[in-house]
Structure 1
Amino acid sequence: MAVELNLQHDYHSSANTDVLRVYHFELDIAVDFDLQQLNGVVRLDFIRNMPSNTLVLDCRDLFVDNVTDIDGVTLSFNIIDVNDTLGQKLIIDVAEKITSVVISYHTSKSAQGLQWLKPEQTLGKKLPYLFSQSQPINARSWIPLQDTPKARVTFNASVKTPLGLRTVMSANNNPVMPDDGVFTFTMDKPIPTHLLAIAVGDLAFQTTGPRSGVYTEPGMLEAAANEFEDTESMIRVAESLLGPYAWGRYDMIVLPPSFPFGGMENPMLAFMTPTLIAGDKSLVSTVAHELAHSWTGNLVSNATWRDLWLNEGFTTYFTNRIVEEVYGREQAELEWVIEFGRLQQEMLSMPLGEQTLPANVQNRDPNLAFNRFTYDKASMFVHELEHRLGRVAFDEFLLQYVNHFAFTAITTETFVDYAKQTLLVDHFDKLNLEELTEWVYGQGLPAWFVAPTSRSFDKVYLALSQLISGIGASELCVAQWRVHHWQYFLSKLPLRVSQAMLLDLDEVFNFTGHHNAEIACDWYRVAIRNLFDPVLPALTEYLCKIGRGKFVRPLFIELQIAGYHQELKAIYAQARPGYHPSLQVQLDSLLHYDE
């Protein structure tokens, strides 16, 4: 008999948050680049929701030296292995009157949430670098805590680093460097633990607006500031839709190439990949996406990783609205159509049972929740809500929804219940429960779904038909094409393309080694699929230089499918040391890699 799942339970945390819940911590750590570890003390303050003498925390590969109460009295504790995904659980005995514990600990070199870079792995080549990636469940590898979105926390932190290096965190950041190497931070609004973030390195700062700026290595600062100069405009547009920005400042940090994501919405300090610095603002929708999370994701959060679509679907939709206001309707339409194309591709390879908005990740790796269904299918759902209700009425609902659940974590079922009380009551003539349920729990896309289109792609279809009919690449009319047109062009090429046509395309458009990482990735996928060996040296360089999972993962899969087994093994062995530990773990499993 199948065991019925508790849809309110976070299966990716061992913490007893329903009994004792941590709500604040005080962190005091020192950064040791020689040993590649954080050494510190954390005080966790908790409330008692039910009587219990046991506090259960999440940790992974942490070394706990001792645990005391706030008065220094030693408390007994035990660390128990759970499994490879969840790591360990730290069980602390707490008497009835105890409401705080103090844990002395240090991290291990295998901490999946931290990447330590040697000077030669940085742009400046002179100083080392450290950065974190806590999402989804890697905060537990650098702080012992209740690592679940359900347990939102505030915190104060003190971080000691070697002189000459700057520390920034997902909190208030002071661009003035202290003389003693000690940086202090405060986050006075409760955030999910996967938004805890730290970076240490040779970082310079430049403002991009009255409440925004960018940190990065000095050699990249000017280019990054220019690329992100529209940030304030984005903030104003977002506020006009979903109300005042709640976090004070919206700063960003452009990390080294090994950062495994396009962006990470850490509050007050969004992490960004350097692959966004294209020189023409063609990829800054990622900035809009991480900004949009300030409302949908950071204010209203997923309670479990099954519910990730509540973050990513609304945010992907909201991103499109920001892009439309700042860069125009054509670009918004282009991005929406490309978004749908990504979803279509994944529908071909994902089992039908996995094609729902709630991610089927209970008792599985939560990284599997990050797919095109929690992002793009969910976004299509939100777009349809706008279409059904009309933009004015839908905007009213969206604002009401965000305000109602601000600073809380909700499940899919919480959203559905809320929709029953609001959407289905106020707009009963435009949406019914059966349609809502089909979108949320149904497999694939509803039968009535109408895909997004854009007349702007007509010129791409014309070029494709001409190319297939035998016209050479140099005769195609590609004037005024944007990056999105090129992405669409490459994605719509036939699965099988002749070597002569690939050579012609490459000689005319210089796809191999293209400066735009998106275009380069799309081209390499086409080339690998068709065994176009001339790209292999540039592909190797690309995979060794870029650590963004969105690009790296599909390229290795393409190599695997195409039969480049020896090349794959050699490239991965060369590129792997530069990847973030969390990406290494995923790729090791995917590629059956054994050092």
Structure 2
Amino acid sequence: MAKVFDFNKDYHSSANCDQNRVVHFDLDITVDFDLKQLSGEVVLSFERLSSSDSLLIDCRDLDIVAVKDELDNALEYQLVQVNDALGQQLSIQVGTQLNKVKIVYCTSPQAQGLQWLAPEQTLGKQQPYLFSQSQPINARSWIPLQDTPKARVTFNAKVSVPKQLRAVMSALNDPAIADDGVYQFTMVKPIPTHLLAIAVGDLAFKATGKRSGIYTEPGMLERAANEFEDTEAMMQVAESLLGEYAWQRYDMIVLPPSFPFGGMENPMLAFMTPTLIAGDKSLVSIVAHELAHSWTGNLVSNATWRDLWLNEGFTTYFTNRIVEAVYSKEQAELEKMIEYGRLQEELASSEVSSQTLPANVQLGDPNLAFNRFTYDKASMFVHELESRLGRDSFDIFLRRYVEHFAFTAITTETFMEYAEQTLLIDHGDKISAHELHEWVYGTGMPAWFKAPTSDSLNKVDFALSEFTSGIDANKLAIQDWRVHHWQYFLTQLPLVLTTEQLDDLDTCFAFTQSSNSEILCDWFRVAIRNRYQKVMQRLTAFLVEVGRAKFVRPLYLELQIAGMNSQALAIYQQARKGYHPSLRFQLDKLFEQ
């Protein structure tokens, strides 16, 4: 018998936030690079929603030194292992009167939410570096808290670091503050715990607008600021679509290459990978994506990791709108085509039962929710809503949706109820309840779905036809191609190519030496499946240098599928120590399998 799930329950948290919910914390920690440890205390303030006399907290590999009340009286507590994925549950006896507890603790050097870099792993090579990655459930590895999107929190933080370094957090950061080793932060808007973030290193700052700027290592600052100089224009477009920006500032930090994501939408300080800095702004849609999360994801959040599509689908659509307004309709169409290409690949390679918008991860790894269905199938759904309603009517719906659920976490079912009360009443002649349910709960793509098109790709299709019919690469018409044309070209090449064809492509277009990580990764996949050994030295260097999961996982998988297991393992053994702990955790499982 299939298990019946309570879709209001977050199965990836052991906290009792529906009984006693933490709403604020005061953090005081010291960063010790020698010990690779955060140590200090956190005071959790909670609301009582029931008569429960226990406060249940999520932890992972934390050393709990003491638990006290406001008067420093010891409280009875118990720390028990739940499982490897969820970590531990800290149960604190809070009686019937307390609404604050103090937890004295320190982190493990192996904390999955923290990466400690030695100086030689940084650009400057002089100072160590620390950064966090809390999403999806790793905040509990560096702060004991109720680690669920349902428990939004405000916070104050005091962070003590070595005096030559700067600390920044997902809060209001002041670049003018003196580097005295002690930094104070305040977040006055309630945020989900997976958006808690910290970074410490040799950081410089440059403004990109009156309310935006870049933090990064000094040696990368000018390149990063130039690449992301359109941030303010993006903010203005986003506000015109979804209303006033609620977070005061939109600063970004460009992290070392081991950062496992393209970007992370931490409020007031979005984290970015340096692989976006291509020198031509061709990859800055990630900046637009993380900015778009300021509305869809940070304001309106998923209640559980099953509901991730509510964050990523709407944000991927919203990103496309920003790109269209700031750059061009052609670029927006091309990016939509690339999205659909990724989706087609996952449709062909995944189990049909997993091809719904809600991710079936209640009892599994929440990282598995980050797939092409929660991003690109969900985005195609939102694009179809716009097409059915018309852009003007859909924009009204979207703005009202964000305003209605601002600063709350919702489930898929909450969204469906809202859509039935708004979309189906106001626009019942344009979309039916059956069609709405088929998009959200149905597998694959709806039978009536029409794939996106772009006339801009006709020239690429012609070049592909010419190449596959035997025309030499140097005779192909590739004038005025954008990065997205090249991505499409690489992903649409035949699965099987000869060594002579691969030599011809690489000699003519120098794919192996590309400085654009997206193109390089797509080329590597073509080369690996055809066992083209001439890329192996560059591929090894790339996998050792870059820790972005979007590139790393598919490349190792491609190596395994091609029967190059020993080479894949040899590269991984060399590269593993440079990857973020959360990525190591996933790749260890991959190689065990």
Same-fold call, TM cutoff 0.5 = yes
Cross-structure match for 1:543: 543
Matched, 1:93 2:96: no
Cross-structure match for 2:558: 558
Which whole-Å deviations, capped at 9, do the CAs of 1:284-319 have from their partners, x for residues lacking one? 000000000000000000000000000000000000
Cross-structure match for 1:342: 342
Q: In the aligned structure 2, how far is the partner of 1:519 from the partner of 1:476?
A: 18
Q: CA deviation at 1:47?
A: 0.6
Which whole-Å deviations, capped at 9, do the CAs of 1:232-254 have from their partners, x for residues lacking one? 00000000000000000000000
Matched, 1:158 2:129: no
Q: TM-score, normalised by structure 2?
A: 1.00
Q: In the aligned structure 2, how far is the partner of 1:370 from the partner of 1:106?
A: 30
Q: In the aligned structure 1, how far is the partner of 2:445 from the partner of 2:407?
A: 31
- Are 2:166 and 2:179, in contact at CA under 8 Å, matched by a contact in 1? no
Q: CA deviation at 1:95?
A: 1.5
**Structure 2 letter corresponding to 1:366:** P
Cross-structure match for 1:512: 512
Q: In the aligned structure 1, how far is the partner of 2:509 from the partner of 2:355?
A: 36
1:40 alignment partner, SS class = strand
**Structure 1 letter corresponding to 2:328:** G
2:342 alignment partner, SS class = helix
Q: In the aligned structure 1, how far is the partner of 2:384 from the partner of 2:456?
A: 21
Which residues of 2 match residues 135-214 of structure 1 at below 5 A?
A: 135-214=135-214
Q: CA deviation at 1:142?
A: 0.1
Q: In the aligned structure 2, how far is the partner of 1:185 from the partner of 1:427?
A: 45
Cross-structure match for 1:468: 468
Cross-structure match for 2:288: 288
Q: In the aligned structure 2, how far is the partner of 1:460 from the partner of 1:4?
A: 48
Residues 1:530 and 1:29: Cα distance change in structure 2 (over 3 Å)? same
**Structure 2 letter corresponding to 1:166:** R
1:39 alignment partner, SS class = strand
- Are 1:307 and 1:359, in contact at CA under 8 Å, matched by a contact in 2? yes
Q: CA deviation at 1:486?
A: 0.3
Which residues of 2 match residues 48-59 of structure 1 at below 5 A?
A: 48-59=48-59
Matched, 1:479 2:479: yes
Q: Superposition RMSD on alpha carbons, in Å?
A: 0.6
Which whole-Å deviations, capped at 9, do the CAs of 1:35-88 have from their partners, x for residues lacking one? 000001000000100001100000000000000001111001111000110001
Q: CA deviation at 1:178?
A: 2.6
**Structure 1 letter corresponding to 2:513:** G
Q: In the aligned structure 2, how far is the partner of 1:179 from the partner of 1:540?
A: 38
Matched, 1:445 2:445: yes
Q: CA deviation at 1:592?
A: 1.3
**Structure 1 letter corresponding to 2:253:** I
Cross-structure match for 2:431: 431
Q: CA deviation at 1:176?
A: 2.1
Cross-structure match for 1:324: 324
Q: In the aligned structure 1, how far is the partner of 2:102 from the partner of 2:196?
A: 19
Which whole-Å deviations, capped at 9, do the CAs of 1:397-456 have from their partners, x for residues lacking one? 000000000000000000000000000000010011000000000000000000000000
- Are 1:191 and 1:298, in contact at CA under 8 Å, matched by a contact in 2? yes
**Structure 2 letter corresponding to 1:235:** M
Q: CA deviation at 1:3?
A: 3.2
1:6 alignment partner, SS class = coil
Which whole-Å deviations, capped at 9, do the CAs of 1:317-345 have from their partners, x for residues lacking one? 00000000000100000000110000000
Q: In the aligned structure 2, how far is the partner of 1:179 from the partner of 1:464?
A: 55
Which residues of 2 match residues 494-505 of structure 1 at below 5 A?
A: 494-505=494-505
Q: In the aligned structure 2, how far is the partner of 1:2 from the partner of 1:225?
A: 52
Cross-structure match for 2:44: 44
- Are 1:262 and 1:276, in contact at CA under 8 Å, matched by a contact in 2? yes
Which residues of 2 match residues 393-412 of structure 1 at below 5 A?
A: 393-412=393-412
Q: In the aligned structure 1, how far is the partner of 2:179 from the partner of 2:472?
A: 63
**Structure 1 letter corresponding to 2:286:** T
Cross-structure match for 1:103: 103
2:512 alignment partner, SS class = coil
1:512 alignment partner, SS class = helix
Q: In the aligned structure 2, how far is the partner of 1:321 from the partner of 1:121?
A: 37
Matched, 1:11 2:11: yes
Cross-structure match for 1:235: 235
Which segment drifts farther, 563-572 or 280-289? 563-572
Q: CA deviation at 1:569?
A: 1.1
- Are 1:166 and 1:177, in contact at CA under 8 Å, matched by a contact in 2? no
Cross-structure match for 2:35: 35
- Are 2:540 and 2:571, in contact at CA under 8 Å, matched by a contact in 1? yes
Q: CA deviation at 1:177?
A: 3.9
Q: In the aligned structure 1, how far is the partner of 2:181 from the partner of 2:313?
A: 40
Q: In the aligned structure 2, how far is the partner of 1:179 from the partner of 1:587?
A: 38
Cross-structure match for 2:116: 116
Q: In the aligned structure 2, how far is the partner of 1:446 from the partner of 1:179?
A: 56
- Are 2:40 and 2:104, in contact at CA under 8 Å, matched by a contact in 1? yes
Q: In the aligned structure 1, how far is the partner of 2:183 from the partner of 2:275?
A: 29
Q: CA deviation at 1:586?
A: 0.2
1:281 alignment partner, SS class = coil
- Are 2:164 and 2:179, in contact at CA under 8 Å, matched by a contact in 1? no
- Are 1:473 and 1:505, in contact at CA under 8 Å, matched by a contact in 2? yes
**Structure 2 letter corresponding to 1:434:** H
Q: CA deviation at 1:207?
A: 0.2
Q: In the aligned structure 1, how far is the partner of 2:76 from the partner of 2:498?
A: 68
Matched, 1:574 2:574: yes
1:571 alignment partner, SS class = helix
Cross-structure match for 2:23: 23
Which whole-Å deviations, capped at 9, do the CAs of 1:82-137 have from their partners, x for residues lacking one? 01100010000112110000000000011000000000000000000000000000
Q: CA deviation at 1:179?
A: 4.5
**Structure 2 letter corresponding to 1:399:** R
Which whole-Å deviations, capped at 9, do the CAs of 1:133-192 have from their partners, x for residues lacking one? 000000000000000000000000000000110000000001024353100000000000
What 5-or-longer segments of structure 1 have no aligned partner? none
Which whole-Å deviations, capped at 9, do the CAs of 1:454-482 have from their partners, x for residues lacking one? 00000100110110111101111111000
**Structure 2 letter corresponding to 1:413:** E
Q: What is the percent sequence identity of the aligned residues?
A: 69
- Are 1:357 and 1:441, in contact at CA under 8 Å, matched by a contact in 2? yes
1:474 alignment partner, SS class = helix
Q: In the aligned structure 2, how far is the partner of 1:289 from the partner of 1:3?
A: 35
Matched, 1:370 2:388: no
Q: In the aligned structure 1, how far is the partner of 2:569 from the partner of 2:582?
A: 19
Cross-structure match for 1:587: 587
- Are 2:165 and 2:179, in contact at CA under 8 Å, matched by a contact in 1? no
What 5-or-longer segments of structure 2 have no aligned partner? none
Matched, 1:492 2:492: yes
Cross-structure match for 2:67: 67
Cross-structure match for 2:253: 253
Q: In the aligned structure 1, how far is the partner of 2:591 from the partner of 2:453?
A: 36
Matched, 1:457 2:452: no
